[in-house]
Amino acid sequence: MTPILIFDLDGTLIDSAPDLHAAASRMLAAEGLPELPPETIRSFIGNGIPVLVDRIIAATALNPDDRDRLVAGFLADYQAHATDLTVPYPNVRDSLSTLKQSGHRLAVCTNKPEAPAQAILQDLGLAHFFDDLVGGDSLSSRKPDPEGLNVLRDRLGDGPVVYVGDSEVDAETARKAGVPFALFTEGYRKRQVSELPHTVSFQDFRDLPDLLESLLAAPV
- pLDDT tens digits for 22-53? 999 999 999 999 999 999 999 999 899 999 99
The rounded mean pLDDT for the chain is: 96
Residue 218 is predicted with a pLDDT of: 74
DSSP-assigned letter for residue 35: P
Options 8, 10, 54, 166, the catalytic residue:
8
- Per-residue confidence (pLDDT) for residue 217, from 0 to 100: 82
Beta-carbon count within 10 A of 78 CB: 23
Cα–Cα separations (whole angstroms), residue 8 to 34, 106, 167: 31, 11, 9
CA 183 to chain centre: 12
For residues 196 and 184, give the distance between their C-alpha atoms in angstroms, rounded to a whole number: 11
The whole model's pTM is what? 0.93
pLDDT given at position 207: 98
Helix axes 114-123 and 67-80, enclosed angle (nearest 10): 20
Alpha-carbon dihedral angle through residues 119, 85, 111, 152, given to the nearest 10 degrees: 50
The long-range contacts involving 146-150, CB below 8 angstroms and separated by at least 24 positions, are 146/173, 146/176, 146/177, 146/178, 148/109, 148/173, 149/6, 149/109, 149/173, 149/174, 149/177, 149/179, 150/177
What is the structure's pLDDT at 100? 97
Residue 84 annotated as catalytic: no
Structure confidence at residue 134 (pLDDT): 98
pLDDT digits (tens, 9 = 90+) for 54-98: 999 999 999 999 999 999 999 999 999 999 999 999 999 999 999
Q: What CA–CA distance (Å, rounded) separates 2 from 59?
A: 46
Q: Are 82 and 16 in contact (CB under 8 A)?
A: yes
Written in H, E and C, the secondary structure of 103-153 is: CCEEEEECCCCHHHHHHHHHHCCCHHHCCEEECCCCCCCCCCCCHHHHHHH
Cis bond upstream, residue 88 (ω within 30): no
- Judge whether residue 220 has pLDDT over 70: no
Q: Compute the half-sphere exposure of residue 98: CA atoms within 13 Å on the CB side of its CA.
A: 14
Residues with Cβ < 8 Å from 198, sequence gap 6 or more?
Answer: 171, 174, 181, 182, 183
* Residue-level pLDDT at 23: 98
Domains of the chain by start residue, with CATH: 4-15+86-217 (3.40.50.1000), 17-80 (1.10.150.240)
pLDDT, tens digit (0-9, with 9 covering 90-100), for 95-120: 999 999 999 999 999 999 999 999 99
Tell whether the model's pLDDT for residue 123 goes beyond 60.
yes
* pLDDT for res 219: 63
Predicted confidence (pLDDT) at residue 177 exceeds the cutoff of 80: yes
